[in-house]
Structure 1
Amino acid sequence: MASYTVPPVYAAFIWWFSTGAVLLLVGCARRFVPLRVTIAVFMVAASLCGLTFSAAETSIGSAYIAFTSTILLWGAQEIVFLSGWVTGPRAKPCPAGVTGWTRLGPAIGAILYHELTLLACGAAIVTLTWGNVNQVALWTFAALWGLRQSAKINLFLGVPVTNDELMPQPVQFLKTFFVRKPVGAFFPMSVTLATAVLVILIQRIVEVAATPFDVVGLTLVSTLFALGVVEHWFMLLPLPAITLWGWGMHSGFPPEDATMKQEPDATATNAPPNLVVLASVRPDLTPSRPAHATCARQRLEDQFRQSFREQHAREDLTTGLGIGEAPAATINGRTS
């Protein structure tokens, strides 16, 4: 039973964790570039050693080693690509005014070296596993490469959701080659073909797999393939792709509080002594008061204005008529 239940969980975790870890590592500051290089080199070395060790083995452990080694090799080239170190001879945004299929040339020029690197990784896997009984690594790489090419073509032709917020800063220029629009004929064709391949893989698990090694190897590959199909649906439906790997996004870290580092206001600093500088308050940012409180205050202000006008009117009338207060009564010429 473990041969059927553990591989899907393991493959799903590796798919989720490796993607987020690569995004987190690439999103680090420039001072961590040596660390990135060291990790990428270590991943390549560990991958090649794992592929060499597991190629002639047909145990359950060798299936996991071959699968993990391929993921490590794929992750290393992703670090190199997303860091902007190996992209293409024309690592620039799409030229202005270039649309449709005329974008194909600049698009290929933007990722040509990356594509050649993928082929070199595939050639290394074929070389290390050729003629051996353990072909899990080759199946895994073929699944990753085929689904990645399908995703790139769909993004180039146009999909409703590109999820380009997952792309690190060094390769932001590639977003200019993506198109947001309703899907065309290629998307249903690619998803249908990928689903058919997935059905064949599951059928082989049920009908052809005769040993635990075959079951584990095919289950790992089929789970990874199913997750790749799910990633295709992320391009069509507003599924929370960013929430799956938000922990790996450098931009997803909480920003520093800008108010803590705000410079003193130049107007207030240069103001003359005894001059009070009032902060400008936008009406739409003032706190709102309840309607009944505003009405009551308005009535009091109106009453005050009315009393003030009446008082001034009486004073003006008295002054104009020359009427003053009667002198106080006197007794013997003196004021009492």
Structure 2
Amino acid sequence: MASYIVPPIYAAFIWWFSTGAVLLLVGRARRFEILRAVSATGLLLGSLLGLALTANDTTVGAAYAAFSCTILLWGAQEIAFLAGWLTGPRAEVCPIGARGWRRLGFALQAILYHELSLLACGAAIVALTWNGSNQAGLWTFVALWALRQSAKINLFLGVPVTNDELMPEGVQFLKTYFARSRVGAFFPISVTLATAVLVIMIQRLAEVAVTPFEVVSLTLVSTLFALGVVEHWFMLMPLPAITLWGWGMRSPFSPEDKNMEQGSNTKAGIPPNVVVLSSVRSDAAPAKSPSLCARQRLEDQFRQRFLEQHARGEVGVGAEPPATINGRTS
């Protein structure tokens, strides 16, 4: 029974914690650059070593180890990507007015090195586990890669919620390649195909998996795949992503921000020990957390979009607002 209960809990925790940990690490100040580099390098080398050692091990522990090593390997390249080290040859915002194939070309140039690094990681896993009896790590990577590519295409084509509040400073320019719009034709197709694959995986788990190793391996990968499908649905809802990983977002009251504020006050002729308060009232509300602020911004965006669409319906105007007419956000 533990082979069916523990793996989903473990996979869900790793999925949640690893995402937040990466966001927390890449959201720190520049003085943590060495820590990020050491962490990414250590995760990369450790995960490859773990995959090589478990390639022919079919114990339950080896299934967990291979799954975890692939998550760590994925985390290493995510750190390099979100920190802005490994994006593409054109790490710039999307030009205003770019549409169609031209916009697609710019988007590919913005993430080309990242995509190549993913393929290199996949090739390394294949090489380390070739003809091995433990393929849990390989299938974990395939699941992550397929779902991530689907998510990127949906963000490029357009979805109601992009959850770009979670993006660190080093890759803020990528937000200009997202399109915030109504759900297009690709979203239901991608979600339907992913759900069909998930059903097949669950069916194999129920009918084919016999040994504890097979049960644990399939359960881990199936759970991760199911969570990836849930992440797709986050593109239609404004709150869950911020709620889940708000703890990994950089605090607006971090030491580096305070130092910057003091520097600005000094330039303006204000002594550093004087705190400037703007529009202070006796009944002022306490400062909100980053997740609450992000949630409020998303709710305001949805409210404004509803009012604009309602106004267009009343006056009979059919043109889209300039922010989305070219398939990209402002």
Fold similarity call, TM over 0.5:
yes
Residues 242 and 253 (structure 1), Cα distance of their counterparts in 2 relative to 1, 3 Å cut: farther
Query: 1:223 corresponds to which residue?
Result: 223
For 1:124 and 1:49, how far apart are their aligned partners in 2?
A: 11
Mapping of residues 248-327 of structure 1, within 5 Å: 248-251=248-251
Deviation of 1:285 (Å) = 6.4
Query: Pairwise CA RMSD of aligned residues?
Result: 2.5
Residues 103 and 245 (structure 1), Cα distance of their counterparts in 2 relative to 1, 3 Å cut: same
For 1:286 and 1:43, how far apart are their aligned partners in 2?
A: 50
Are 1:16 and 1:244, in contact at CA under 8 Å, matched by a contact in 2? Answer: yes
Mapping of residues 73-152 of structure 1, within 5 Å: 73-152=73-152
Query: 2:9 corresponds to which residue?
Result: 9
Deviation of 1:48 (Å) = 0.9
Mapping of residues 165-176 of structure 1, within 5 Å: 165-176=165-176
* Cα deviation code 1:160-190 (max 9, x no counterpart): 0000011000100000000000111100000
* Cα deviation code 1:8-34 (max 9, x no counterpart): 000000000000000011011111111
Unaligned runs of 5+ in 2: 272-277, 284-330
For 1:268 and 1:191, how far apart are their aligned partners in 2?
A: 55
Does residue 195 of structure 2 align to residue 207 of structure 1?
A: no
For 1:268 and 1:141, how far apart are their aligned partners in 2?
A: 54
Residues 286 and 209 (structure 1), Cα distance of their counterparts in 2 relative to 1, 3 Å cut: closer
Does residue 161 of structure 2 align to residue 161 of structure 1?
A: yes
Residues 267 and 216 (structure 1), Cα distance of their counterparts in 2 relative to 1, 3 Å cut: closer
Residues 253 and 20 (structure 1), Cα distance of their counterparts in 2 relative to 1, 3 Å cut: farther
For 1:221 and 1:31, how far apart are their aligned partners in 2?
A: 37
Are 1:158 and 1:180, in contact at CA under 8 Å, matched by a contact in 2? Answer: yes
Are 1:60 and 1:212, in contact at CA under 8 Å, matched by a contact in 2? Answer: yes
For 1:69 and 1:214, how far apart are their aligned partners in 2?
A: 18
Residues 79 and 210 (structure 1), Cα distance of their counterparts in 2 relative to 1, 3 Å cut: same
For 1:268 and 1:248, how far apart are their aligned partners in 2?
A: 33
Give the aligned residue type for 2:12: A
Deviation of 1:45 (Å) = 1.2
Are 1:246 and 1:252, in contact at CA under 8 Å, matched by a contact in 2? Answer: no
Residues 3 and 120 (structure 1), Cα distance of their counterparts in 2 relative to 1, 3 Å cut: same
Are 2:43 and 2:72, in contact at CA under 8 Å, matched by a contact in 1? Answer: yes
* Cα deviation code 1:178-226 (max 9, x no counterpart): 0000111100000000000001111111000010000000000000000
For 1:104 and 1:158, how far apart are their aligned partners in 2?
A: 13
Residues 286 and 202 (structure 1), Cα distance of their counterparts in 2 relative to 1, 3 Å cut: closer
Query: 2:242 corresponds to which residue?
Result: 242
Calculate percent identity across the aligned residue pairs: 70
TM-score by length of 2: 0.78
Deviation of 1:97 (Å) = 1.3
* Cα deviation code 1:233-272 (max 9, x no counterpart): 00012232111111111146579789x96969x9999xxx
Query: 1:36 corresponds to which residue?
Result: 36
Aligned length: 273
Are 2:129 and 2:135, in contact at CA under 8 Å, matched by a contact in 1? Answer: yes
